[in-house]
Structure 1
Amino acid sequence: MADAFSSSSETVIQRVVGVTVNSNTPPEKLEELYQIKKTCDFISQHQFQKVALQFPDELLVDSVAVAAEIERHSNAKPFILGDTSYGSCCVDEVAAEHVGADCIVHYGRACLSPSNRLPLMYVFERRPVDVEKCASTFRELHHDTQSHIILLYDVNYVHAINDLVTLLSPEYPNLVASELVVEGEQCYSHSRIRGQHDVTSLSEQDHSQVICQFGRQFSLKSGTAVINYSMFYVGQEGATLRNFMMTWNLCSFCSFDPITMTGRTESVSVNRALMKRYYAIERAKDASVVGILVGTLGVADYLTIIQQLKETIRRAGKKSYMFAMGKLNVPKLANFLEIDIFVLVACPENSLLDSSEFYKPVVTPFEMDVACNKNREWSEEYVTDFRHLLPGGQSHVPLADQQQEEGDETDVSLITGALRSHSLLKSEPAEPSCGSSVVLRNQTLTVANTNSAASFLAERSWRGLEQKLGETPVVKAVEGRRGIAIAYEEEGTSS
Structure 2
Amino acid sequence: MSDAFSSSSETVLQRAVDVSVKTNTPLEKLEELYQIKKTCDFISERKFEKVALQFPDELLVDSVAVAGEIERTSNAKTFILGDTSYGSCCVDEVAAEHVGADCMVHYGSACLSPSTRLPLLYVFERRPLDCEKCADAFRELYPDTQSHIVILYDVNYVHAINDVLSLLSPEYPNLAVSELVVDGEQCYSDGWIRRRDKDTCLSEPDHKQVICQFGRQFSLKSALSVTDYSMFYVGQEGATLRNFMMTWNRCSFSSYDPTTLKGRTESVSVNRALMKRYYAIERAKDARVVGIMVGTLGVADYLTVIQQLKDTIGRAGKKCYMFAMGKLNVPKLANFLEIDIFVLIACPENSLLDSSEFYKPVVTPFEMEVACNKNREWSEEYVTDFRHLLPGGPSHVPLSDQQEEGDETDVSLITGALRSHNLMISEPAESSYGSSVVLRNQNMTVANSAASFLAERSWRGLEQKLGETPVVKAVKGRKGIAIAYEEEGTSS
* TM-score past 0.5 threshold: yes
C-alpha offsets along residues 249-270 of structure 1, whole Å, 9 cap, x if unaligned?
0100010000000000001422
Query: 1:252-291 maps to which residues of 2 (within 5 A)?
Result: 252-291=252-291
Q: Secondary structure at the match of 2:371?
A: helix
CA distance in 1, matches of 2:381, 2:269: 16
CA distance in 1, matches of 2:204, 2:475: 75
Distance 1:16 1:327, change over 3 A: farther
Provide the residue aligned with 2:424 in structure 1.
425
- Counterpart code for 1:53: L
- Counterpart code for 2:202: S
C-alpha offsets along residues 382-406 of structure 1, whole Å, 9 cap, x if unaligned?
00000000001000000011x4531
Extract unaligned runs of 5+ from structure 1.
1-8, 428-438
Identity %: 81
Taking structure 1 as the reference length, the TM-score comes to: 0.87
CA distance in 2, matches of 1:130, 1:418: 57
Q: Does 1:407 align with 2:406?
A: yes
Distance 1:15 1:99, change over 3 A: farther
CA distance in 2, matches of 1:38, 1:449: 57
- Confirm or deny: 8 A CA contact 2:317 2:446 kept in the other structure: no
Provide the residue aligned with 2:4 in structure 1.
none
- Counterpart code for 2:208: S
- Confirm or deny: 8 A CA contact 1:314 1:424 kept in the other structure: no
CA distance in 2, matches of 1:333, 1:158: 37
Between 386-395 and 18-27, report the one with greater CA deviation: 18-27
C-alpha offsets along residues 193-224 of structure 1, whole Å, 9 cap, x if unaligned?
1235x5831112x1211111100010111111
Query: 1:52-91 maps to which residues of 2 (within 5 A)?
Result: 52-91=52-91
Provide the residue aligned with 2:340 in structure 1.
340
Q: How many residues align?
A: 464
- Counterpart code for 2:365: P
CA distance in 1, matches of 2:153, 2:377: 32
- Counterpart code for 1:395: S
C-alpha offsets along residues 15-68 of structure 1, whole Å, 9 cap, x if unaligned?
999976421101000000000011001101111100000000000000000000
Query: 1:241-256 maps to which residues of 2 (within 5 A)?
Result: 241-256=241-256
Provide the residue aligned with 2:430 in structure 1.
none
Query: 1:64-143 maps to which residues of 2 (within 5 A)?
Result: 64-143=64-143
Distance 1:124 1:18, change over 3 A: farther
Provide the residue aligned with 2:6 in structure 1.
none
- Confirm or deny: 8 A CA contact 1:282 1:414 kept in the other structure: yes
Extract unaligned runs of 5+ from structure 2.
1-8, 427-436
| Cα RMSD, aligned residues only | 3.0
Q: Does 1:356 align with 2:356?
A: yes
Distance 1:99 1:141, change over 3 A: same
Provide the residue aligned with 1:194 in structure 2.
196
Provide the residue aligned with 2:450 in structure 1.
453
Distance 1:440 1:455, change over 3 A: farther
Provide the residue aligned with 1:462 in structure 2.
459
C-alpha offsets along residues 145-179 of structure 1, whole Å, 9 cap, x if unaligned?
11110000000000100000000000001101100
CA distance in 2, matches of 1:390, 1:462: 41
Q: Secondary structure at the match of 2:157?
A: helix
CA distance in 2, matches of 1:16, 1:421: 57
Q: CA deviation at 1:410?
A: 0.9
CA distance in 1, matches of 2:370, 2:16: 40
Q: Secondary structure at the match of 1:218?
A: strand
Q: CA deviation at 1:421?
A: 1.3
CA distance in 1, matches of 2:227, 2:356: 30
C-alpha offsets along residues 63-115 of structure 1, whole Å, 9 cap, x if unaligned?
00000000011021010000011100000111111101011100001111111
Distance 1:191 1:161, change over 3 A: closer
- Confirm or deny: 8 A CA contact 1:288 1:319 kept in the other structure: yes
- Counterpart code for 2:464: Q
Taking structure 2 as the reference length, the TM-score comes to: 0.88
CA distance in 1, matches of 2:325, 2:30: 35
- Confirm or deny: 8 A CA contact 2:146 2:172 kept in the other structure: yes
Distance 1:263 1:16, change over 3 A: farther
Q: Secondary structure at the match of 2:188?
A: coil
Distance 1:164 1:362, change over 3 A: same
- Counterpart code for 2:414: I
- Counterpart code for 1:210: V
CA distance in 1, matches of 2:440, 2:175: 58
